[in-house]
Structure 1
Amino acid sequence: MYMAVAPAPSGSDRGAAVILQPLAADARPDGERILVERTELAAAVARAETRRPRWVWQGTRLWYPELLTAGVDVERCWDLSLTRSILARSQSCRSSRYIDALRIEALTDQAADLPRTLLPRPASPDQESLFDAPQRASGPSLDDVVEELAAQLAAVAAAEGSQRLALLVAAESAGALIATEMEHFGLPWRRDVHEDLLERNLGPRPPEGSRPVELERLADELRTTLQAPGLNPDSPQELLRALHRAGIDVRTTRSWELERQQHPAIGPLLAYKKLSRLLTANGWTWLDAWIRDGRFRPEYVVGGVVSGRWASRGGGALQIPHQVRDAVRPDDGHVFVVADAAQLEPRVLAALGRDPALATAARGRDLYQGIADQGFDGDRAKAKLAMLGAMYGATSGEAGRLMPQLSRAYPRAMGVVEAAARAGESGAGVSSHLGRGCPPATEEWHTGQRSTTAEEQRGAEASARARGRFTRNFVVQASAAEWALCWLAEIRRRLDASSIADPRSRIAFFLHDEVVLHVPAARAVEAEGILGDAARAASRLMFGDIPLEFSITTITVASYADAK
């Protein structure tokens, strides 16, 4: 059954109230509407959870945080906002009044180059709002919620490959629950360890607007070495001019270009850039903004990337540098169990192509070595270069020369990405395994393809190849993101059903193909088993029973820095 949730009408004499509506599997009312005070919502949800409903709401972020604050979690939900975004792009959906309206809206947003915002946000968000009292929900009426659920259920049921699309919608909504739980409970973060790390690398915390002593020392060394007394090394323009005056021929101040130069200034400059990144990305200001009560609570954006990968708003949640990972430490008596889905994307490609030869290569821990042993004379580096080139469209250089060999060895898998590339080059769309669609080519792109001059033709061909590279990778990356969502959902379900009953036992962090669990030290082995079992279950959900291993490596650590 479903249970729809929406605010009571603004004219209600009950004030801040919420309406709950039990719904049958086809979204028809299946019981009396329940009107509760907002303060009674958590208790009402807890009572209803005994019936294991799927909660239907406009956005998980609008409702779930206050339930978690009240100590109530829910098993399942249907996030209308996230589902709407999936259906608007999915090529699996058949034309209907609802789907056609979604597609027109998506095309309008694309033409206007609007940012892809999937989750409702405050009108004037700031970092502090993440830690304020839960935002009060507003928006569509209960009738609107029920009507849209019915339209979405009908669209999924009528879709080509409806079971796959239904799985994607369920997994995306489960991801929304997990992301909200991760934000609420937070990633354990030791401020004292982080501050000690900053002081050892940068020196004591400087006054506002001043450089730390180590950065200032390196800046002085650069001024002396480059004979530029007034140099501000934080200014790329000033720095580039000083480098040129010193005879250092570089086009940019990027580290990879500087590393190729031989000059006494290069060492201190690279050191300065590294420490400057630490200060800017994870310095004292970052600590003040993002670490509260020993927890890092960023805002995760489910499906924030067009391929379905997660993104984050603020705090750099998906880019925790190795320099500061030692500050990520579990609570007393707990450990982190870190799992990594090794070489996930090429394994997904093997499953998409149902390629038996590539599946055989993937049976060991190291897929690239398996490929090397099959056809590259054991040269792992060549095998990896060829496979990455196939998935990302590197058709020139060494990767391009290796492609024919890879295509002969794995024709089915290579056929998947080649077909996707050809579709993209023609302006057509492609889909993930479960039915997430990539954005269509814009009208501007199509106009550019109707070139007349030789110069325009060259530009059109380059644009077509670029789109082909995008669609080539989309089918793999989006399908891998779906596998990861199914993995997450299975982990959450199995954790809740396990004997790991500690309330702090949670999915603490997630990054594309890596999951970090926070569990009691005595339960680490059980948690490792859950991670592996969940991976196998995710593979069956996605691809059925196929002779392909999705290898999971796990490690139990007392510091995130020790995970890799």
Structure 2
Amino acid sequence: MYVVVSPAGPEGYALSFLDDSGEEEQQGEVVADDELGEAVEAIELESPRWVWHDTATTYPRMLIAGVRVERCHDLRLTRALLRSSSLTASTGLAMSPPGRWDEAITSTGPAAARQPSGNELSFTDGSGSDDDDSGAAGSGAAGSGAAGSAQLTVDEFRLQLETVRAATEPNRLRLLIAAESAGALIAAEMTHAGLPWREDVHDSLLTELLGPRVAAGLRPARLEQLATIIQHELGSPGLNTDSPAEVLRALRAAGLTVETTRSWELQALEHPVIEPLLEYKKLSRLLSANGWSWMEAWVSDGRFSPEYVPGGVVSGRWVTRGGGALQLPKQVRRAVTADEGWKLVVADAAQLEPRILAGVSGDLIMARAGQGTDLYAGIVASGAVENRAQAKVAMLGAMYGATTGESGRLLPRLARAFPAALAFVEDAARAGERGEIVTSRLGRSSPRPGEDWWEAQAAAREGAGSERDRQHARQQARDWGRFTRNFVVQASAADWALCWMADLRRRLSYLGAAALRTAAPGTAALETAALETTAFGTTAESGRALEPFRSVPHLVFFLHDEVIVHAPEFQAEAVAEALRAAATSATTLLFGGFPLTVPLDVSIVDSYADAV
């Protein structure tokens, strides 16, 4: 059963009930905004799939009410997939002009996902009449008000179902849509639950590294000390060490040949100023990215709650709106600390992208090299390279198109050892150079180059313009080829990660429910279920909703191939097993019986800094 949720203006939400084929059974039941959570909780007992415009703006309302749902279909994310996938290229949806359903839904500020902004897609004007003409073709008049909005939403959902059925490989797309929509649920839940964060520990770390906190606009003691050393070593007393342009001029004036002030370039130089300058850059970055001001803006009630954006990159990778959750430096990871009576279970998929390359290319030799061991060690054992460092450099070169240096030297050897894998990425690169799209394992496709790219390529083929223009066009083609070369691997790895997390979320839900069902008075499970004073802050008056995660293991962090689960201590080992089982399940979903393994490095720790 599908339940379609449509905004109905001040009336609340319209709920439409459809059978598994998308045929309507009941339409237009309106639920007041403050009653949505209760209504969803009752209907969830029937295990429906919820259908709504955008998970990021609808689902937080339910979480605030303490209600979780098992599964959904996110119309916005799905339309984006169906519009661009090579598997749906000949469908009416893919070929139709952009409409309101294609508009991105945005929200602002660090609290947006906790306090819904009410900016869902609207399909009615001020009078309640339909003013949108981009819904399903041939759907007829939709009516007005709540009924009109509900009909347009149902029509879009049916159009998406029809598009999937018409796809060249519908089962691949069904799995991708389910995984992408599950990822949206996980993103909203992680924002709601937050990553456990000890503000006192963070403050101590900053004070230890930078010195005591000072007023905004002033440098902490350590940065001031380093700035003085840098000015002295460069013979420039008035140098503004926060200005790359001034520092670059001072370095050149000191006789150093440099093009930029990037750390990798400075590290190649020998001069007394280099060490303090590198330290200054590192600490200055820490202060601006994760300093005291950052903590005040993004951490509250013992939780860091960024707003995750699933599919924020064309390859399917996530981004965040502010907070920098995907770039937490090692200096502050000590502050990521489990609540009392809880643990952090940290899991990292070992060498995920090279393993995924073995799977998508069907390279049996490479897959076997990574079975039950470090893939890079397996590459060394194959005789392709001499050591692990060379194996890593060669694989990165293969996936990112390196043609010079150590990578370029090792690539021919790698190609001889693993011909199917190297031919796969080479084919993807050539396709990109021709302006063609490439597609991930489950059906996410790369964008096409822009109009300027095509014009430059056409001019170069016709011999128009100068030799410099033609060289530039050839470089553009090679650059796009490097993009598509990497896309097929990175996007397929994103497919795998979504399936991993979706299956893990289901397993964690079962673990939490089973613990509460089987707990008897006095058992550890029942005691942990009552940890209302330690999970999500010290008191119920903290302002953070304790439900629905106060007593069950739940995801709190995701970064491409790494996740963190916050779990009651007595369930930590079971969570570690769930992580491994979910990884195996995801690999089977994507690659069937192909002998590919994706081992995990799993740590059960009190602090993120202690994870392997």
User: TM (normalized to structure 1)?
Assistant: 0.94
Distance in 1 separating the partners of 2:214 and 2:286? 14
Identity of aligned residues (%): 51
Alpha-carbon displacement from aligned partner over 1:45-73 (angstroms, at most 9, x marks no partner): 11100111110000001211010010010
- In structure 1, the residue matched to 2:502 is 489
Match of 1:287 among 295, 308, 331: 295
Alignment of 1:413 with 2:421, yes or no, is: yes
Distance in 1 separating the partners of 2:188 and 2:385? 48
For the 8 Å contact 2:88–2:166, the answer to whether it is kept is yes
Match of 1:105 among 98, 101, 117: 98
- In structure 1, the residue matched to 2:566 is 518
Alignment of 1:126 with 2:109, yes or no, is: yes
Summarize the alignment of residues 50-449 of structure 1 with structure 2, pairs less than 5 Å apart: 50-101=45-96, 104-105=97-98, 118=104, 120-122=105-107, 125-127=108-110, 129=112, 132=115, 135=118, 137=120, 139-140=122-123, 141-376=149-384, 378-449=386-457
Residue 204 (structure 1) shift: 1.2
Summarize the alignment of residues 12-31 of structure 1 with structure 2, pairs less than 5 Å apart: 15-31=10-26
Residue 136 (structure 1) shift: 6.4
Change in Cα spacing, 1:431 to 1:54, as seen in structure 2 (3 Å) is same
Q: Which moved more, 1:19-28 or 1:149-158?
A: 19-28
Distance in 2 separating the partners of 1:412 and 1:560? 38
Alpha-carbon displacement from aligned partner over 1:89-132 (angstroms, at most 9, x marks no partner): 1000042332212xx439x99xxxxxx985x224xx33354554
| Amino acid aligned to 2:222 | E
Residue 133 (structure 1) shift: 5.8
Q: Which moved more, 1:189-198 or 1:516-525?
A: 516-525
Q: Which moved more, 1:287-296 or 1:269-278?
A: 269-278
Alpha-carbon displacement from aligned partner over 1:429-471 (angstroms, at most 9, x marks no partner): 1100111010012221111112223222211211111111110
Residue 33 (structure 1) shift: 3.5
Residue 134 (structure 1) shift: 5.7
| Amino acid aligned to 2:468 | E
For the 8 Å contact 2:299–2:305, the answer to whether it is kept is yes
Alignment of 1:548 with 2:596, yes or no, is: yes
Distance in 1 separating the partners of 2:295 and 2:203? 9
SS in 1 for 2:24: coil
- In structure 2, the residue matched to 1:531 is 579
Backbone CA RMSD of aligned residues: 1.9
Distance in 2 separating the partners of 1:272 and 1:379? 35
| Amino acid aligned to 2:284 | S
Summarize the alignment of residues 500-519 of structure 1 with structure 2, pairs less than 5 Å apart: 502=529, 503-504=549-550, 505-519=553-567
Change in Cα spacing, 1:202 to 1:320, as seen in structure 2 (3 Å) is same
Q: Which runs of 5+ in 2 are unaligned?
A: 124-148, 517-528, 530-548
| Amino acid aligned to 2:375 | L
Residue 311 (structure 1) shift: 0.6
| Amino acid aligned to 2:585 | A
SS in 2 for 1:92: helix
Change in Cα spacing, 1:427 to 1:403, as seen in structure 2 (3 Å) is same
| Amino acid aligned to 2:156 | E
| Amino acid aligned to 1:208 | A
- In structure 2, the residue matched to 1:458 is 471
Distance in 2 separating the partners of 1:342 and 1:410? 19
Alpha-carbon displacement from aligned partner over 1:364-417 (angstroms, at most 9, x marks no partner): 321011011112354222222222111111122332232222222222222211
Q: Which runs of 5+ in 1 are unaligned?
A: 110-115
Change in Cα spacing, 1:127 to 1:72, as seen in structure 2 (3 Å) is closer
Distance in 2 separating the partners of 1:302 and 1:516? 17
Distance in 1 separating the partners of 2:411 and 2:154? 51
Q: Which moved more, 1:348-357 or 1:217-226?
A: 217-226
| Amino acid aligned to 1:468 | G
| Amino acid aligned to 1:235 | S
Distance in 1 separating the partners of 2:112 and 2:3? 29
Distance in 1 separating the partners of 2:268 and 2:351? 30
| Amino acid aligned to 2:491 | A
User: TM (normalized to structure 2)?
Assistant: 0.86
Alpha-carbon displacement from aligned partner over 1:235-254 (angstroms, at most 9, x marks no partner): 11211222222222222111
Change in Cα spacing, 1:361 to 1:117, as seen in structure 2 (3 Å) is farther
For the 8 Å contact 2:164–2:173, the answer to whether it is kept is yes
- In structure 1, the residue matched to 2:488 is 475
Distance in 2 separating the partners of 1:303 and 1:392? 21
| Amino acid aligned to 1:202 | L
Distance in 2 separating the partners of 1:136 and 1:306? 24
Match of 1:40 among 32, 35, 41: 35
Q: Which moved more, 1:213-222 or 1:24-33?
A: 24-33
SS in 1 for 2:435: coil
Q: Which moved more, 1:365-374 or 1:322-331?
A: 365-374
SS in 1 for 2:416: helix
For the 8 Å contact 1:190–1:329, the answer to whether it is kept is yes
Distance in 1 separating the partners of 2:597 and 2:121? 45
Alpha-carbon displacement from aligned partner over 1:508-558 (angstroms, at most 9, x marks no partner): 100000011110111111111100100111111111122111111211111
For the 8 Å contact 1:500–1:519, the answer to whether it is kept is no
For the 8 Å contact 2:84–2:94, the answer to whether it is kept is no
Change in Cα spacing, 1:377 to 1:414, as seen in structure 2 (3 Å) is closer
| Amino acid aligned to 2:600 | I
- In structure 1, the residue matched to 2:4 is 4
SS in 2 for 1:555: strand
Q: Which moved more, 1:370-379 or 1:315-324?
A: 370-379
SS in 2 for 1:33: strand
| Amino acid aligned to 2:11 | A
- In structure 2, the residue matched to 1:113 is none
SS in 1 for 2:382: helix
Q: Which moved more, 1:177-186 or 1:90-99?
A: 90-99
For the 8 Å contact 2:110–2:307, the answer to whether it is kept is no
For the 8 Å contact 1:94–1:160, the answer to whether it is kept is no
For the 8 Å contact 1:309–1:512, the answer to whether it is kept is yes
Distance in 2 separating the partners of 1:377 and 1:303? 36
SS in 1 for 2:88: coil
| Amino acid aligned to 2:110 | Q
